[in-house]
Homo-oligomer: A and B are copies of this chain.
């Protein structure tokens, strides 16, 4: 992990910087975002120190996945939210600011919450076939 620069999340995990901790287990730590998009905005991070999701170990990723529904239920319960987005950004170009994997749980209340732009295109047969070939090869490697 020598290629991974320290981030503020290391200090939150170590307790050096205080946080509003919601949940912790062997692999996962969750706390309130102090710059929330809406009330109840929660961050869920692996203790494994990786910048981006594709770098995460199976074990750490499974542990994160397992607790996401539980944490979503807690956010809904605490805020009364009935709609919410789960967002995980990778790379500055994709709006990632802290370079340690984190999932946002963001309740949606009317206009409050995550803003989403959805400029959908259309998938052609030839593009699809080309992508599938490459992705399946990558998965088998």
Contact = CB atoms under 8 A, between A and B. Distances in A.
Given A76-B54, A115-B119, A63 B65 contact: yes
B39 A131 contact: yes
B128 A20 contact: yes
Interface in A98-141: 103, 108, 110, 112-123, 127-128, 131-132, 134-136, 138-139
Contact of A37 (B33, B120, B131, B134): B120
Query: How many protomers of this protein does the assembly include?
Result: 2
Interface residues of A, number: 79
Contacts of A87: 85-88, 116
Interface of A: 20-23, 32-40, 42, 52-58, 61-79, 82-96, 103, 108, 110, 112-123, 127-128, 131-132, 134-136, 138-139
Given A53-B68, A56-B69, A83-B93, 15 more contacts: A35-B121, A36-B120, A37-B120, A37-B121, A58-B66, A58-B70, A65-B68, A74-B138, A78-B131, A78-B134, A82-B93, A85-B90, A86-B88, A94-B108, A114-B118
